[in-house]
Amino acid sequence: MEQATASESDTTGAEAHSNTLAPVIHTAIGKGKAVAAWRLPHTNEAHVAVSLQDSFTPTPPTLENSPFGFLFCPFQESEPAPNLFIKADLYISQATGKLTAAIDAPAPEVADFMQALELGSTTPQRSWHTSNAGVQQQSDLHFQDAVAAAVAAIKEEQMEKVVLSRNSILPLPLHLDLAAVFEQMCQKHSRAFVSVVSVPGVGTWAGASPEILVSINEQQVFHTVALAGTQPATESVADAIWRQKEIEEQAMVERYILLCFKSLRLREYTEIGPRTVVAGNLMHLRTDFKVDLKEVDFPSLGTDMLRLLHPTSAVCGLPKAPALQFILEHEGYDRSYYSGFLGPVNSKAGTHLFVNLRCMQLLKDKAIIYAGAGITAESDPVKEWMETQHKMVAMQRILQQF
């Protein structure tokens, strides 16, 4: 039997001609397989990976020795929301338009999939894998009360910052197609990491994230960011004026990343920023941290930083333990995969994990849109609620296209 290896180039020549990405997504769902589609920021090339395995759970997520696939992890691991790895048994990119099978992909399943693809998909609209978990939605007042409680706890010095979130449930348009949702997001969000993930028994998520968690590109450059502070986008980023509250909020995220480097005794990094960046209808403050792994001998940096960073102070808070405790006690709903992380691992372009933000979960006839806001001593409950409204606009606009 052939061994699984850790690179996207380990593929056999199993090809189906004239494929585009949409039929591959439809066939995967029709055949009950897990599928992920993604497009990296500032690139034109979309990718789709399909797993032909029955199990998707990695324990624990390691990056360096992983085969090529797509990692999908929740905010907090639980039975309905486990860490998932969609191994790329089948892979297609827009650049080649050819579906290829990994060298260790199960041959009968590959043949079966190719045949179904040739026959053409009859997948109806609004067809994707759905989760069995119930939907919880809190009232607007619940969110605002939680913010007020967080401000009080911060003033009592129980923590410095906590990120509180909420969800909003919308009916789904009848003519919604998952591949078309992906395409719309690619068109509308060129600066974001765009993805759709659909896993049997777990459900379907779509999003356009502005936040890199851990990325190692083909030149072996490690990259992470401190992203925080939000305001509506202005004509030009040069016009952005940031309040002290946002500057401090982002500085806390930066400080936590520096602490992670320090705990790994890593001093050879570059730091650029904070700069104003645009994310859809919004702007944020971002500092970029990079490490050249060709110059620094630290082969496990990706996995080590992932373990230390998640959940970052951009989605959890500072210090991490009391902020997490506060979230679990006060948010009043399960974040599931919102504010978890996701992305391709060991692809030709490297490993690119993003925080699952500006995202939605697709149920049979509803979408759940998620958003959060960083709470500090200066936070105002109504303004923070408005900020979450602004963050939900990205996904609302995608649904309005149908």
**Binding site residues, ligand ISC, CB under 6 A:** 163, 165, 211, 227-230, 284, 314-315, 357-358, 371-374, 391
Q: Is 296 left (phi over 0), alpha (psi -120 to 50) or beta?
A: beta
Q: Which is nearer to ligand ISC, 25 or 282 (CB)?
A: 282
Q: Which is nearer to ligand ISC, 25 or 159 (CB)?
A: 159
Residues whose CB is less than 8 angstroms from the CB of residue 58 and which lie 6 or more positions away in sequence, other chains included = 66, 71, 83, 84, 85
325 membership: H or E segment, kind and range: helix 320-330
Separation CA 9–CA 34 (nearest Å): 21
Separation CA 196–CA 56 (nearest Å): 16
Residues whose CB is less than 8 angstroms from the CB of residue 380 and which lie 6 or more positions away in sequence, other chains included = 147
Q: Which is nearer to ligand ISC, 47 or 358 (CB)?
A: 358
Please state, in angstroms and as integers, the Cα–Cα distance from residue 109 to each residue in 6, 19, 51, 244, 325, following that order: 21, 18, 10, 57, 44
Tokens for 359, please give them. Answer: 């995202």
Q: Which is nearer to ligand ISC, 24 or 357 (CB)?
A: 357
Residues whose CB is less than 8 angstroms from the CB of residue 137 and which lie 6 or more positions away in sequence, other chains included = 167, 168, 169, 333, 368
Cβ neighbours, 10 Å, residue 1: 4
Place of tokens 């099978």: 101
| φ, ψ at 387 (rounded to 5°) | -60, -40
* Shortest Cβ 358–ligand ISC spacing (Å): 6
Q: Which is nearer to ligand ISC, 231 or 300 (CB)?
A: 231
* Shortest Cβ 113–ligand ISC spacing (Å): 35
Separation CA 364–CA 130 (nearest Å): 7
Q: Which is nearer to ligand ISC, 309 or 371 (CB)?
A: 371
* Shortest Cβ 227–ligand ISC spacing (Å): 5
Q: Which is nearer to ligand ISC, 198 or 388 (CB)?
A: 388
- 359-362 vs 366-375, strand pairing mode: antiparallel
Residue 318 near residue 226, CB atoms below 8 Å: no
* Shortest Cβ 285–ligand ISC spacing (Å): 8
* Shortest Cβ 168–ligand ISC spacing (Å): 12
The residues facing 195 across adjacent strands are 38, 207
Separation CA 106–CA 229 (nearest Å): 47
* Shortest Cβ 278–ligand ISC spacing (Å): 12
Q: Which is nearer to ligand ISC, 229 or 302 (CB)?
A: 229
Place of tokens 């923590």: 159
* Shortest Cβ 337–ligand ISC spacing (Å): 12
* Shortest Cβ 372–ligand ISC spacing (Å): 3
Q: Which is nearer to ligand ISC, 274 or 372 (CB)?
A: 372
* Shortest Cβ 325–ligand ISC spacing (Å): 18
